[in-house]
Structure 1
């Protein structure tokens, strides 16, 4: 009997909590903390994608709605098992009930929209508000390292993103649908990072390393995120294609954006020329899948076989590309893995056409999980190839790191960096459920240089050889030439660039806590004395640049 790949990841969590990983002298993507992070990101990211797809199916009255919802429920069961593996069976059951409720409220919202029942729509929104507070309380009660207010803010963002994607779909603003879907997906992986970080802090003897500051883990997570998105986006775009759906072009455009992200990731490791060579090669297999869909629609078996033959040529060329770039990767194993990827996508599509929807969604989930495993293999091979780039440096003098503290307060322009008091032009504030801070004062307070370019509306942060660019009015930033989703639109308030607190702290590896007054923000991080602050920040950036892109 075939076991679902995602289920395997979930069941592994229980093992990680009782068998600590052994420290290795060489950097690696493996380890209990990194595995926990990957598993939670996998499941939470999948939840966002499946939820948006299911809401579309429900609104359209599609025959596969029940099976789409079944895939979403299966994901919930696996998340519940993950929670149970950490906090016990009773906690797992409680989580399942709470988490399932918000899926039900989304369904209520879809039904009310279809019936044009505004009262019922508002009730669904009210219930989602009750849910997010209960869910935040659940996590914060279970883990003292998780801040209830921040959790509630994150869940509000999740709810708003899913509602926005659905409302845009109803309004036929398809470009917005898929932009929002990508943001929702990336945000849930960030949520997984936060939960995993809290769990590791809660059970330190069961884990090794700080997963938020491990560049090898970052690379693994980045590649898993991009490749997982590719699989799901391909399956659902193929469904849109055979259905002749009006949003097919926009659904297919996700694959192009995803390919660009993956090409940028390749370029960040092997150089711009390698990224340019990878892009058309990877894009070709997407084109062959489109050929297969078109041939299926016209019942042209000859064209279908040609598409399959082209996919066979592609997988061999793609395997050769990776194996040539990296001697740690086996060309035969790569080719076998790509064959599995191709077969899973074709199986999901053929089953959908045959109206065997249960098989279609089982194959889609297997394809998604398999791509995370592919990301695991590629990232480990890259880390072995460039070990120096992925080492977590430890300061030798002094032997004990000093804890730096940055304290801010909502509504106050005062910022304390260790014992130094500074004044900001703009106080931290909450907007649309997210806490925003002026990035200049945080960056300068820990040793980085900040520059604003009026001609391009760009805020640059420079630390050593690393450069970050934040574009006003966009929800994407750039880290050493690589794009990364911010999670909210960057904007200017009173002459200062504002970014979400959660994003910038996770990017730089700071721990965030809220004071008892629920208004004081306390950020801490172990680092060398003040004279080396800029160097440590540069190290953070280098670690991040090893594999980060859009999330």
Structure 2
């Protein structure tokens, strides 16, 4: 589709990752931007690092269950690794890219070893896999710290990599133990955590090569807003895709999956409310929740082989596209164009329905190809919405956050750091909303 071809994020190339000669506004200019070269780099790394966590956890579960699409899920995970490798290669060269690929692939292999050892009830093999992951984190931290000329501190990187490994193992162990709520809550934490390395690495790269990014910065108030929406909207797709599969399979984990999907809806709605007020947030929540319900209707109709009910669900989704697009266009005072958003929402519907239909039909390659496209697509509305909000309230998003930049983040400081990273935009947005209400009242 034209919308998808024009706007969906694609694997990074040299010209995208180091875009010389482009005329973008500086982060310190009067009008803040969410589409500077540096912020685009951060958004692409947001996508790839978070998708890694989503695909790795999914593949581990499917491996434990012996599911038919396990191989294709692993292929999707390998595709993500290739995208990350291209990004590193485009900055640091072929040798560094090969070294990255080898280490990154190895750490995925260690998770696979842990899954196999769990299935075999082999405690020694499980320990060996964990030991290998511990060694990997030190080696990989050294690699990235050296590559960034120390701009990413090795100790902080190693700590953050340890958090990543711990979260994936915790999510998997909880799943195997039947604690599905903990499994999906930890998946959410693991995906969110990966926005820290994307933030840290993007900042380090643009600080190394400032002229290649027109001296813009990856960590700004505007960039933080876009990154927050990157997480929430892409997680929505991941959870919805998983829920639709679980619904079709009658899986025990379905309720826990849907619970976390609903929590995601709450978080997005709260973000909207912090800008446009409680009434706006409630209207958003009603619309957003309804479209999730229509996907559930489609799953149920598929299970019942009820073609009429499937068509009805698609019609409801079509009406939702119109209603939601008009809501966002009005809220953003035309910053989001209703027709453009409606077209993008059709892509979202097509991708979720497409990956589900392919799964039900047993076409697992198409399942995971569509899943990856759908996940990447959600970074488009994140950019669209954040750009419109920043344009509406430029004074509130000008400049840099006050907190110092960090690398991967670690266990000791993760609570306070995560609190700042994810709640700072909400305080900013709340202030923006207060200003808007005051102006409207005058």
TM-score past 0.5 threshold = yes
Quote the Cα distance in structure 2 between the aligned partners of 1:540 and 1:306.
37
How many Å separate the matches in 1 of 2:160 and 2:83?
21
Equivalent residue number for residue 93 of structure 2? 88
| Between 348-357 and 370-379, the greater mean CA deviation after superposition | 370-379
Counterpart check, 1:39 vs 2:44: yes
Question: Does 2:361 match 1:348?
Answer: no
Counterpart of 1:273 (choices 274, 279, 285) is 279
Q: 1:482-501 CA distances to partner (integer Å, 9 max, x unpaired)? A: xxxxx54xxxxxxxxxx4xx
Alpha-carbon separation, structure 2, partners of 1:121 and 1:60: 18
The CA distance in 2 between the partners of 1:344 and 1:540, in whole Å, is: 30
1:431-485 C-alpha deviation (Å, 9 max, x unpaired): x96234xxxxxxxxxxxxxxxxxxxxxxxxxxxxxxxxxxxxxxxxxxxxxxxxx
User: Is 2:184 aligned against 1:178?
Assistant: yes
Deviates more, 1:264-273 or 1:52-61: 264-273
Q: Is the 8 A contact 1:242 1:297 kept in 2?
A: yes
Is 1:368 paired with 2:411?
A: no
SS at match of 2:13: helix
Q: Distance in 2 between matches of 1:365 and 1:278?
A: 26
Q: Which residue of 2 aligns with 1:28?
A: 33
For 2:139, which of 128, 134, 153 is the aligned residue?
134
Q: Per-residue CA shift, 1:38-72, capped at 9, x if unaligned?
A: 11111000000110000000000000000000000
Q: 1:309 aligns with which of 298, 306, 315?
A: 315
- Which structure is higher in RCO with an 8 Å CA cutoff and minimum separation 6? 2
CA distance in 2, matches of 1:184, 1:43: 13
Cα distance in structure 2, aligned partners of 1:27 and 1:118: 53
1:70 partner SS: helix
In 1, the alpha carbon distance for the partners of 2:328 and 2:280 equals 10
Take 1:201 and 1:540, find their aligned partners in 2: how far apart are those partners? Answer: 27
CA–CA separation in structure 2 for the residues paired with 1:45 and 1:435? 21
| CA–CA separation in structure 2 for the residues paired with 1:175 and 1:435 | 25
Aligned to 1:295: 301
Q: Unaligned stretches of 5+ in structure 1?
A: 395-402, 406-431, 437-486, 489-498, 509-537
Match of 2:124 among 119, 128, 134: 119
- In 1, the alpha carbon distance for the partners of 2:14 and 2:337 equals 26
Inter-partner Cα distance in structure 2 for 1:404 and 1:178: 30
**1:45-444 equivalences in 2 (<5 Å):** 45-143=50-148, 144-207=150-213, 208-212=215-219, 214-326=220-332, 327-392=334-399, 434-436=411-413
Kept in 2, the 8 Å contact 1:295–1:301? The answer is yes
Q: 1:229 to 1:545 in 2, by over 3 A?
A: farther
Post-superposition Cα deviations, 1:368-398, rounded to whole Å, max 9, x if no partner, equal: 111101111111122222222222289xxxx
Question: What count of residue pairs does the alignment treat as equivalent?
Answer: 421
C-alpha change, 1:546 and 1:201, in structure 2 (3 Å) is farther
Separation of aligned partners in 2, 1:174 and 1:349: 21
1:542 positional shift: 3.5
Which protein has the larger Cα radius of gyration, Structure 1 or Structure 2?
A: 1
Q: 1:76 to 1:53 in 2, by over 3 A?
A: same
CA separation of 1:505/1:241 partners in 2, compared to 1, >3 Å: closer, same or farther? closer
Q: 1:202 to 1:332 in 2, by over 3 A?
A: same
Q: CA deviation at 1:283?
A: 0.3
Per the normalisation by structure 2, the TM-score is: 0.89
Q: Would you say the 8 A contact 1:105–1:128 is kept in 2? A: yes
Q: Closer, same or farther in 2 for the Cα pair 1:60/1:247, shift >3 Å?
A: same
Corresponding residue SS for 2:412: strand
Per-residue CA shift, 1:307-336, capped at 9, x if unaligned?
111111111111111111121221111111
Distance across 1 between alignment mates of 2:5 and 2:119: 37
Q: Matches of 2:25 and 2:411 in 1, distance apart?
A: 37
Gaps of 5+ in 2: 434-442
* Equivalent residues of 2:11, 2:83 under 8 A apart: no
User: Do the aligned partners of 1:20 and 1:206 also contact (CA within 8 Å) in 2?
Assistant: no
Q: 1:17–1:86: 8 Å Cα contact kept in structure 2?
A: no
How far apart are the structure 1 equivalents of 2:120 and 2:110?
A: 15
Shift of residue 3 of structure 1? 7.7
Q: Higher strand share goes to which structure?
A: 1
RMSD, aligned α-carbons: 2.8
> What displacement does 1:8 show?
2.0
Whether 2:41 is the aligned partner of 1:18: answer no
Which one has the bigger helix percentage? 2
Contact 1:84 1:92 in 2 (8 A): yes
Shift of 1:224: 1.5
Kindly tell me: are residues 134 and 230 of structure 1, through their superposed partners in 2, closer, same or farther at Cα, counting changes over 3 Å?
A: same
Q: Say if 1:328 and 1:381, in contact at 8 Å, map to a contact too.
A: yes
Task: State the distance in 2 between where 1:330 and 1:312 align.
Answer: 17
